[in-house]
Amino acid sequence: MNIEQILESGVLSNGEAVTRYFKGRHFADGKEEKGLIVFTNKRFLFLQKPSGWRAKGLNALQTYLWGNVLSVSTTGLLSKKLNLSIRTNDRTEVSVYSCGRMRDVVKAIIENKRACENKT
C-alpha cells in the first residue's frame, strides 16, 4: 500500500492531508488485523485492504479525531505495542497497535496531536 492508494480510496475528507503512514497491525478480541496506520492533519486512521482477489481500494476500520486521543503509551519488551486511549461517546477505550518503527510512530502521533490542538 502506498500514498496513491490512500488518496484514491476516498477515505479522506476535504482538506485532509496525509502526514505519515506506516504498515502495522491492530489487536482486538484476540485477533490480529494487518493494515496501514495513517496519520492525517485531522485524524488517526487504521486502513485495510478489503478481502477478495478483485477487491479494490481501502476500508477505514478505525478513525479517530486527534482531539479524542487522550494518551499514548508503549508496552512490551521485545515486540513493542502502541496503546492509544481514545475518548468515545460516553467512555474511554484503549486500542492496541504495533508496527516496526515505534519511536517514529509515537513521535508522529505527538506532533499531529499538538498541531491539531494549536489550530483550535
Backbone angles phi, psi at 64, to 5 degrees: -135, 135
> In sequence order, which ranges of 15-101 are alpha helices (DSSP H)?
none
Residues of the chain below pLDDT 70: 1, 120
* Domain regions of the chain by residue span: 3-119
Q: For residue range 79-113, what is the model confidence (pLDDT) as tens digits?
A: 778 888 888 777 888 888 888 777 788 888 888 88
Per-residue pLDDT, 49: 87
The CATH class given to the 3-119 domain equals mainly beta
Beta strand 18-28 with 43-48 is unpaired
Per-residue pLDDT, 16: 92
Per-residue pLDDT, 53: 78
Per-residue pLDDT, 120: 59
